[in-house]
Amino acid sequence: QRTSFHRSQTLDFKNGYAFSRLPREGVGGETLFANQLSQDELDDLCTKGTTLTYGQVKRPAAPRFTPAFVAYDKKVLKFDAYFQEEVSISAEEHYRIRQVGIYYYLEDDSMCVIEPKVKNSGLFQGKLMKRHRVPKNEQGDYYHWKDLNLGIDLTMYGRTYRLVNCDSFTKVFLESQGIVVNPPEEMVLDPYTEQHRMPVQKPIVPTSPDPFRQFLTYDTKVLRFYAIWDDTNCAFGDHHPCVIHYFLADDAVEVREVHRRNDGRDPFPVLMRRQRLPKVFVDKNKNFPSCVLEITDHEVQEWYSPKDFAVGKTVTLLGRTFLIYDCDKFTQDFYREKYGITDFQPVDIKKKPLEKVAQVIPPYNGFGIPEDSLQNCLSLFPKPPRKDIIKMLENNLKVLRYQVALESPLREDKTRRFILSYFLSDDTISIYEPPVKNSGITGGKYLKRTKVTKPGSTPENPIYYEPSDFTIGSTIEVFGHRFVITDADEYVLNYLERNAESFPTATLQSIRDHLHPQKVVVETVSSGVPKKDLDDLIVEVQKQLKLQEPFNTRKFHEAFHHFDKEGSGFLDKTRFLNICDRFQVPTSTILLKKLIDYCSCDGDKVNYRDFLLAFPS
């Protein structure tokens, strides 16, 4: 009726050394005596027979009890194995062979898998499976050393290992336990690794000059060619001057672009870096994307050499065409000695000057002044024409005024009078028409201040009117309208006399002859000299009134009588002139002044009754 089956401890340590001792208690805690026989000894006595001659056979002493973790401490079975791993992301290999070592620890029946680390392999190597008891099946069994042998496949956690060899200790142990060890197999190698370990077979090249000897002979010796790269077929293309360097030491070619000041290009030094340039390629598949890969030696059939360059020759380097037009002295000596070439005449690459096309100026359209409109034909962003600032400062506020009449076949235009103002600061002209009541024509500004060209002048060489062109009786054509100068201001005569050296004598004399009779009349009045007969003067005024528009003489008479409160027949000269200005008497200014001077008395009074004789009501 036992309920406890514990066994007593038989392993002990003393002074750091392990030793075994006899158990003091049996299974379940039974007391054991020192001279008590064991069950095995009792069984031997029961089966032992008696001997008559020599007595009982002496048997060796029973071995002392040793636990398994002591007996098999630090005893490990080591197997060489490999497993195959699938590779799906590489075009050069489809599977990979990985060599491992499987270790079985006898003390606790645990196992581990270790792969030797390879430098720069790119794989996770080392301990692939940590040390532990490996399950064998789903029933809960674990792998035992009895399951291990050479030439078998061992599956652990879905990965199958092929055991091909073991060490001597493993072989001796398995044979001592009665296991027949299979013959070892050859370890399978990784094909991709072995392919890269094999030395690359270099193609057999025909005998050629030694590159090291070529380097020592031609080091620092460079052929220099001057070329032109014609890029005019592309948008914004041009002729690019370049220098081609051919390095004799390694048959490399370099192209540098020659930059000039303000040429508008980025000043990068090298157009093509120093490299060997292919001339003829080996035939290959057209679908192969060689444009994005580097060119190798086996893809090129022929490289560029010194014999491919010459003055006057066209070469194509990496898709660009260069025309070689000259070379330096060293290059000429090299070709003269090696190839026997003596003709190095430079090619003329100077551009022919373009023929200048005469610029055709379109006709003047009438908008603005010709100089201002001409700027639209000379530049894309027109600028206003430059002005003579000195002239503007010297002649500021200086204006010459003339009275002009319009030449027109229409009856209503014959009585129209205009004031033409000539501005000396910028030679511009403006025309103003004084408003006349009940004339049916709105007065005011007739021509805005602008320059006026003479008839027959061209937009390329415009000729403008000047003060010398304005004489009494001369005709001025302004944009298709013709005006006749009938009178001038006294300031005009004074200005012309002060600057007589700048104007023709005929212009000055014309103004002087026109204004001189007026001065004579004024002088004779003031000095008491007999004036012109009143009847003749009245007849002339009435003749001009008949030629002009009808004049309301009745209201004209009423105005004078209204202001003469005393009925004396005399009015103040200032008031008299205001009445005349208000009614705008349609007669010549000269005749009107003569009539007023004739009727004046005592300087400040005017006899308006004598004056009204010329204007019958």
DSSP string, 185-228: -PPPPPHHHHHHHSPP----PPP---HHHHHHHHTT-EEEEEEE
CATH architecture group of domain 211-339:
Roll (2.30)
Dihedrals phi, psi of 83, to nearest 5 degrees: -140, 155
CA–CA dist 176, 146 (Å, integer): 12
- Which residues, in sequence order, are CB contacts of 603 under 8 Å at separation 6+? 573
CA distance 443 to 129: 116
Neighbours of 344 (CB within 10 A): 15
Q: Which two tokens stand for residue 418?
A: 């205009």
Write down the residue that tokens 């009786």 correspond to: 473
What are the contacts of 211-214 at 24+ separation with CB within 8 A? 211/250, 214/248, 214/249, 214/250
- For the chain, the residue count is 617
Q: Provide the b/e sequence for 41-50 (b: ≥16 CB within 10 Å).
A: eeeeeeeeee
Third-level CATH fold of 68-196: PH-domain like (2.30.29)
Residue in the block written with tokens 């937009």? 459
Question: Helices marked H in 51-167 — which ranges?
Answer: 68-71
495 Cβ contact list (under 8 Å, min separation 6): 398, 400, 467
pLDDT at position 42 is 77
pTM score, whole prediction: 0.35
Mean pLDDT of residues grouped by 10 in the chain (617 residues)?
81 87 79 71 71 63 80 93 91 90 94 93 91 92 93 93 95 93 93 82 64 87 94 86 94 93 86 91 68 73 91 91 94 92 89 83 77 84 89 92 91 89 94 89 90 83 89 90 91 90 89 69 39 65 68 75 72 77 73 75 70 70
The arrangement of strands across the sheet holding 428-433 comes to 444-450, 428-433, 417-423, 399-406, 481-488, 475-478
Q: Give the pLDDT confidence score for residue 299 in this predicted structure.
A: 82
Are 68-196 and 397-523 the same fold in CATH? Answer: yes
3-state secondary structure of 529: coil
Q: What is the pLDDT of residue 520?
A: 42
Nearest to 83 by CA among 170, 188, 193: 188
Domain 397-523 has CATH 2.30.29.170: yes
Residue 22 is which amino acid? L
Terminal C-alpha separation, the chain: 176
Report domain extents, the chain.
1-32, 68-196, 211-339, 397-523, 532-613
Q: Say if domain 532-613 classifies as CATH 1.10.238.
A: yes
